[in-house]
Amino acid sequence: MANNSITVIDNRTGNKFDFPIVQPTIGPDVVDISSFYKNTGMFTFDRGFTSTASCRSNITYIDGGAGKLMYRGYDIGYLATKKTFLDATYLLLHKELPTKEQLDNFNLELKKRSFINESMKKLFDAFPDNAHPMAILSSAVAALSAFYSDSLDMDTPEEVIEMAHRIIAKIPTIAAFSYRYSKGLPVIYPDLDKGFTENFLYMLRAYPHGYVELKPIEVEALDTIFTLHADHEQNASTTAVRVVASTQAHPYAAVSSGVGALWGRAHGGANESVIRQLEMIGSVDNVDKFIAKAKDKNDPFRLMGFGHRVYKNFDPRATILKELRDKLTDELDIDSHLLEIANKIEKIALSDEYFVKRHLYPNIDFYSGLILNALRIPKEMFAVIFVMGRTPGWIAQWVELKEQKDMKIARPRQLYLGPLERTPKS
Ligand code: SDX
């Protein structure tokens, strides 16, 4: 029996099988079971991949027990309070924080690519006015590939970074355009004199003649939100991006699949659901009733913004956002009525045995919604904001997967519980 291994014994036969233990830089050891089926003739079963490491990665590390999150080794608290979203984006893509000159050049490369082909506006026209911006965004990202069909193979590092710049630069414009179309407003083109985050708020809010109400504190708050969302190891939407990337599909298809996966209310759609839930609860007097519904196993109602697959203590991003929300309460128009309801929910949930026993704490989405609300960003755009933040992470994960020469197409097996072969009656 090799020392750095684990032995599995089939108690039905007494057969023993050894599997190597692989040690990470930091975090739980990993048992490599790649040969499990070949050696044992059995599959492993792991509903929702709660105990499964799907890949090797150098990008993001989460310690769910300690409430720790690092991008390329830098703590999220440092990046969110001392650096900008473009710093974090550059770090995710290039593995190092940028110098001032590198950041200026990076910013310029994104500005140059912030416009979209005018004929993409026909795509926006095809949607009904009440189309959810995530429907438009997932379609538009995939549609981008049609304008770059000559460079979808990404065989050289130059082609990869060109793609990364394009997608990161164009998603804010597509997002802003989809919102303006949904409101029947004229689109506002990127203003290349404005910074990345300021430019997005400008495209969202400005009047055709250029007038816009924009406070620096609003730009700073949204930039922090983008940084906090930039990557999060192998979450559901990043897994979707990696699965699509493993089929050799191009990154526009992979990112579009990430948008679709993120839209779910159990994932990136939770921030919109939190606000809708607070509005539905409507009063602090109703909170107890909804807490009881959340605890009732027979009731599908769940407390949006609570719980996390990995964080079983606290979500460090939520801590940063809560501080930001409290700081902005005076400077921005945080909805005091919804805040009162949110505070009561949080107070009860943090002491109630049902939530404490299941390690259900407020996650990033519980706080981001109230801040986005105060930034006068419409609820239906909340998941789009999440996409804008997460796009650099998805692309960094896509690049990492492509760089791994032993990458295999994602093709899990199943626990089959269907019928045995049946003889057709006729
Ligand atoms: C994000 O993975 C990531 O990194 C995601 C993310 C990222 O940055 O990419 O962090 C972003 O998606 C944050 C999560 C946003 N979603 C929500 O806020 C939706 C509400 N939360 C739940 O849907 C749930 O907590 C999940 C999906 C977040 C986590 O689900 P898990 O890990 O599969 O946990 P589970 O469903 O197995 O729940 C464990 C127990 C169950 O009860 P028991 O069967 O043990 O009795 O906790 C209960 C659940 O019923 N539970 C909840 C609950 N969340 C879990 N009960 C009430 N309300 C909730 N919100």
Atom index in ligand 1 nearest the CA of residue 229 equals 8
Q: Is the pLDDT of residue 121 over 60?
A: yes
Quick one: what percent of the chain has pLDDT higher than 70? 100
Average pLDDT, the chain: 95
The helix/strand/coil state of 70 is strand
Dist. CA 292–CA 275, nearest whole Å: 19
Q: Which residue has the higher pLDDT, 226 or 370?
A: 226
Which burial class, exposed, middle or buried, applies to 151 when counting CB atoms under 10 A from its CB (0-12, 13-18, 19+)? middle
Dist. CA 403–CA 422, nearest whole Å: 46
CB contact burial 388-422 (16+ within 10 A = b; e otherwise): bbbbbbbbbbbbbbeeeeebeebeeeeeeeeeeee
Distance 217 CA to ligand 1 centre (A): 32
Stretch 282-305: mean pLDDT: 96
Q: What is the pLDDT of residues 62-86, one digit of tens each?
A: 999 999 999 999 999 999 999 999 9
Q: What is the pLDDT of residues 228-268, one digit of tens each?
A: 999 999 999 999 999 999 999 999 999 999 999 999 999 99
Q: Is the pLDDT of residue 1 over 70?
A: no
Residue 151 confidence (pLDDT): 76
pLDDT band at 333 (very low <50, low <70, confident <90, very high): confident
Closest residue by Cα to residue 223 from 325, 334, 83, 115:
83
Q: Is the pLDDT of residue 212 over 60?
A: yes
pLDDT band at 2 (very low <50, low <70, confident <90, very high): low
CB of 145 sitting under 6 A from ligand 1: no
Find out whether 18 and 6 touch, Cβ atoms under 8 Å: yes
Q: What is the pLDDT of residues 159-172, one digit of tens each?
A: 999 999 999 999 99
Q: Is the pLDDT of residue 219 over 60?
A: yes
- Residues acting as catalytic residues: 308, 365
CB of 26 sitting under 6 A from ligand 1: no
Q: What is the pLDDT of residues 298-327, one digit of tens each?
A: 999 999 999 999 999 899 999 999 999 988
Dist. CA 360–CA 92, nearest whole Å: 29
CB of 365 sitting under 6 A from ligand 1: yes
Distance 141 CA to ligand 1 centre (A): 28
Atom index in ligand 1 nearest the CA of residue 233 equals 4
Residue 328 confidence (pLDDT): 84
Q: Is the pLDDT of residue 154 over 90?
A: no
Q: What is the pLDDT of residues 9-63, one digit of tens each?
A: 999 999 999 999 999 999 999 999 999 999 999 999 999 999 999 999 999 999 9
